[in-house]
Structure formats: C-alpha cells, structure tokens
Chains A and B, each alone.
Chain A
Amino acid sequence: MIWKEIKNHPTDYLILVSGVVVSIGLFLSPYITLATKYLLSLFLGFFYAAWGIWHHRQKKSLSVRVALEYVLMGMLMSLVIWLTLEY
C-alpha cells in the first residue's frame, strides 16, 4: 500500500521529501543564522500544510477536517523545532 501510494503520486512525494530534506539540511547547516532557522521552522509548517491541501485537492478528497489535520500537524512540527531552537 505504501509503495502503491508512492507509485500513484511520485511527484507529490518527491516534492514533499525534497522540501523536508532541504529544510532539515538548512537547519543543521553551520552557516545559517538563528533568525533564519526560526523562519525555516515556520516555513516547514506552512510547506507541509500547503502540500497536504494540494495533494488532497488533486485527489478530490479534500475536506475541512483533512485540511485541519495537515495545518495542525505542520503547526505542531514548527512549534517543536522552534522550541528546540530556544535551547
């Protein structure tokens, strides 16, 4: 099912993995300032929510509940990274 899902939407998952990997790579880079890292944590949340909504819209399975799930998951992960940066 996992492979079927990826096989059916290769571009979607390629975009997701690329966005996430680039964000994390920048987080761990020694040449990025703290302020940029805070912005990156917000970007990651927005990117994920946007990806989820776009993906489900393409599949015509978008509902308010699904959109809310992606927004909350994105916000939660942004929050975790933001708070981690504090220490």
Chain B
Amino acid sequence: MRLRRQRSPKNRIARWLSHTFLPHKRNHHRPWILHPHGLAMVAIVVVAIHISLALVLHFPIFPNVLGESDNITPTAVLEQINIERQENNLAPLQWNDQLSLAAQQKGQDMLQRGYWAHTSPSGEEPWDFIAESGYTYSVAGENLARNFHSTEMMLSAWMASPTHRANIVHTKYADTGIAVLKGTMNGKPTTLVVQLFGTPEDSAVANAPELPQQAYAATQVMVNSAANNASNVLGAQLELTPVHFYRAGILTVLAILLGVLTYDMLNAQNKKLKRNVGKNLAHIILLIAVITTVLLAESGSLL
C-alpha cells in the first residue's frame, strides 16, 4: 500500500521556494527559475508589472503622476538659463508674457494634435505662435524638451546638445517665455517644456548682420545619462510615482535572478557538478549590464 503524506501549507511554500530558487536533486541541481519554463515565467512577471503600471497610469490612483514634472517650473528654468548665461558673460534673459503665452499655445497644440516637432502637421512654425501672441521679433528661437524629471536634468541635456546650447547662450536674445505642460501624447503620459527666445524688433541687440532671423534646435537627442541622474538627485526633491515602483519591481526581479544564478554557479563549483546547461557566468554578465541600464536609463528627449 502506498501512503501519501499530507504536507502543511507552510511546508508546501517552503518546498516551492526551494524548488524554484535553490539547486537540489529534485530539480536536477538547477533551480526551476533557470529552466526554460522558469525564464518564460519571469518574462510573464515582467510583462505583468508593465501592464500594472499601464493600468495605474490609465486610471490614475495617485494625483500628479503624469510625467513626474512637479520639479520643473518656468521660474526654475529661467533661473537656470540665466545662471548659464551669466557664466558665459551674457546678460540675463527677461521674462516676457507674450512669449510665455506663445509657448503655452505651442505646447497645447502639440499635446492636442499629438506631434513632437518644431513644425505642426499643418505647417505652423514656432514663429507663427509668436506672431499670434503679438510679440514682434527680429530674432527668435525655440527649445523643446519632454519627459524630464527635473529642471537640472533638462538643463544638463540642453547644454550637452550644441544646437540647444546655442539658443541658450545666444548673444542676441533679450526675452524668453517658458511653458511647462502636462498631458498625454499618443496615449503616453507626457510633460512638455517649450521655451521661446526672442528679441523685439526695435531692440539694439538685434542689429548684428550675422544673425539668423529664426533659430531652433533641430536635432533630436535622447538623453540617458548617469550625470543627469546625479543632477536630479542633487537638485530636486524626490517624488515617488508609479514609474519608480515599476523600476523597483523590475530591478527586484532582475536582482533575484542574479542572486539565483550566482548561488547556482558557486554551488556547482563547490560540488563539482557536471551539467549541460547554459553558462551562468555569461548570464551574470548580461544581467549586470541590463541592471546597469535600467538603473541609469532616464528617458527624456529634446527637440
């Protein structure tokens, strides 16, 4: 007669954890999570975390989660811009309400029509918005940024881009208008920063012959840098958002996988196990690289 011993729920959980994460005879000395089925399950968990975030963002539980841009304000942008200009021995830019209105209208147009470009789908240029606001300019420029988490981070990116930097430290600009807008663009939470530069038509600084009439930063640059993260930490208060929880979740999954791989590698080494499986060392190299990427990646873009 064959007897089957009843296990308590506690024992079952312990057995499942051991089977999933630790190498032993029952899993052929390879934790189940490292078997093909286990890796597929990890992929499902990663997708589930992603879908959870998408749902949280679609049905916001937390207020102010879109774009996490509470750290970016027009005043802070102006202050930082003027610090950069002072460091370059240039006069500070003056706040201009008409340019700010034009920046606001340009940003709203981008969000409503879902385009990420200096020129709208119907061909409207930044200068059209400036003209509509009633500001008559002799020189004008535009810098755009989206989905940055702090003013410092955004400024670092602008200053690292030659075309955006050229606008910021342009000798002939006298006025600026800045708008920070939150919304959704093509279904994604988006924070837009629109900065317009200008010099009034009758201004003395506008009479240099080499000046371009209109200038905007025409290159699109993705920003993912450790330096930008550092400036974020230094310059802004930390606000926890679903995106932070998402990254923490993904990093936890990767850290568990890394721990299991390392333990399995050391265990196989100590017990001198001969197994025909993938190289744990190679998996660890790849995982460390991916963890580094997830930690350092801070997406935001310029235009």
Contact = CB atoms under 8 A, between A and B. Distances in A.
Interface of A: 1-2, 5-6, 13, 16-17, 20-21, 23-24, 27-34, 37, 48, 51-52, 55-56, 61, 63, 65-66, 68-70, 72-77, 79-81, 83-87
A51 B247 CA distance: 28
B227 to A, nearest CB: 9
A72 B297 contact: no
A65 B115 CA distance: 46
A87 B53 contact: yes
The main secondary structure of chain B at its interface with chain A is helix
The main secondary structure of chain A at its interface with chain B is helix
Interface residues of B, number: 48
Contacts, number: 123
Nearest to A85: B299
Given A17-B285, A73-B278, A76-B43, A28 B294 contact: no
Interface of B: 34-36, 39-40, 42-43, 46-47, 50, 53, 157, 160-161, 188, 220-226, 243, 246-247, 250, 254, 265, 269, 276-279, 281-283, 285-287, 289-290, 292-294, 296-297, 299, 301
Contact of B294 (A51, A74, A80): A80
Contact of B285 (A20, A29, A74): A20
